[in-house]
Amino acid sequence: MIPLAEIEAARERIAGAAVRTPLVRLPDTDIWLKLENLQPVASFKIRGATNAIRAASPEELAGGVVTASAGNMAQGLAWAAREAGVPATIVCPDHAPKTKLERIERLGGRVISVPFDDWWRAIEESHFEGAQGLFVHPVQDERVMAGNGTIGLELIEDLPDVDTVLVPFGGGGLISGIASAVKALRPGTRVFACEPETAAAVTAALAAGEPAEVEYTPSFVDGAGARTVLPAMWPLVREVIDGAHVATLDETAGAVRLLAERVRVIAEGAGALTLAGALSGRVGGGRIACIVSGGNIDFSVLTRILAGETPA
C-alpha cells in the first residue's frame, strides 16, 4: 500500500490548491457522497497532479511536464503546472470530450490528440515520442497516488464508521491511494472498484487472477474503465480492494439523473458509477460512501441523460 505517512505529507503539500470537498448524504438513505466534482478543475485529479509537481525537484521540472489523459488528469496537471510556472503537454485519446479538451487549453496545456491505441501505449510506456518533460503518469506515479489518498483521510475523518467505500476505476491510481489511507485507518472497511460494462478490466483480472485484456468500447463513461489493468498496478490493486462492481450504462445514466434531481450535483459518467453501484444493492448494505470523482461532462450528453436517454 501507499504509506500513510506519504499520504499525510501529500495533504500538507497540496494545501491551498485542492479543497476539502464536502461529504453529503443522499436523502433518505445511508449513502454518502464525497463530492470531488467541486474541486477547482471539477475532478479529484488536482490532488495527485499538484502533489506530483510540488514534490518534484527544479531539475525534474526544467523541461515542463507531460501526461497521457482522457481529460481530468490533463486538467489537473495543466492547472498545477500553470501554478508552478512550467509548461504542460497533454496526450489525449481522440474520443476525449470536447468540454475537457477546451478546458485543458484554457488552463494553458498543449493538447496532442492521438488514436486510442497510441494513447494507451503512452500510458503503458510512461513516454510519448516528441513530448519533452517530466512524465507524470496518471495512474502509477506514487506521488499521484499519495495525493489521491488524501480523499481517504478526509473520508475517514468525516465518516469514521463507514462500512463500504466505492471508487471509480480507470487505471487504479485513485482507488490505490484512497484504499491505502482507508485500510490504514480503518482496516475493516471494504473498498470496491466500480467500472462500466463497456470496459470492465478489474472484474476480468479478479476472475483470471491476473491482468486480462477485455474489449474496450468508448462510451459516455469516458473517465473510467480500461482495456486491461496495467501490470505494474495489479499487485497493489489486488492488495487493497475487496472486489469490483460492474455498472451498466443504463444504471450509470440513471445515477447521473438522480444526482442532478435529488442532490443538485452534476457528475460525469465516471463520477456516477459509484452511486450506480450503491443503488444496485450488489455491494452489500450498511453505511456506504461513494466517491463522485468528477463533473466534467459535455452539456449535450448531460441534456440527453436528463431527458431520460442513455447515450452510447
Q: Hey, what long-range contacts does 256-264 have (CB within 8 A, 24 or more apart)? A: 256/297, 256/302, 256/305, 256/306, 257/305, 257/306, 257/308, 259/33, 259/292, 260/302, 260/306, 262/26, 262/27, 263/24, 263/26, 263/27, 263/33
Say whether 69 is catalytic: no
pLDDT digits (tens, 9 = 90+) for 219-239: 999 889 989 999 999 999 999
Which pLDDT band holds residue 10 (cuts at 50, 70, 90)?
Answer: very high
pTM for the model stands at: 0.94
The mean predicted confidence, pLDDT, of the chain is 95
pLDDT of 158 above 90: yes
Taking 90 as the threshold, does the pLDDT of residue 155 lie above it? yes
- For 108-121, what is each residue's pLDDT tens digit? 999 999 998 898 89
Catalytic residue (choose from 34, 43, 45, 180): 45
261-277 confidence digits (pLDDT tens):
999 999 999 999 999 99
Query: Which residue in 176, 180, 219, 293 is the catalytic one?
Result: 293
Is 98 annotated in the active site? no
The burial of 38, by beta-carbon neighbours within 10 Å (0-12 exposed, 13-18 middle, 19 or more buried), is given as: middle
